[in-house]
Amino acid sequence: MDRDQYLAEVESRLRRMFSASKSGYRTPAADRHRLEGFMQAGVFFGLTDNRELTELMEEIHFSVFGKTIRERREDQPLNWQSETVDYSAYEAPPFIRNGDTGSPVT
């Protein structure tokens, strides 16, 4: 794989990921990590550098969403991080939650 083929593949993968996100699909973490690893491999093998990959990602993001990554983050903060989950129901041991008195079975 030469430099041009590598960058074309990165572009294709980024475009698929951003397009899926725009359509409302959340890319699985494994796929995001795989893409990050693929991009870091290109840096490691000297096919590109982080600056070029960042510029490519910004360019593709803008072409898909019509705004920069920063603008999109500011427009759509991640609400799931601010949600709190009430785990108080799980503070009691399961045998108490299930109504078991703890007496042995005879």
Q: Encode pLDDT of 38-88 as tens digits.
A: 999 999 999 999 999 999 999 999 999 999 888 888 887 664 554 566 777
Q: What is the mean pLDDT of residues 25-37?
A: 91
Average pLDDT over all residues of the chain: 85
- Report the distance separating Cα 59 and Cα 85, nearest Å: 37
Residue 75: how many other CB atoms lie within 10 Å: 9
For residue 98, the model assigns a pLDDT of 76
For residue 76, the model assigns a pLDDT of 74
Taking the CA atoms of 44, 50, 52 and 58 in sequence, report the sign of the dihedral they define. positive
Candidates 36, 43, 41, 3; CA nearest to 17 is: 36
For residue 52, the model assigns a pLDDT of 96
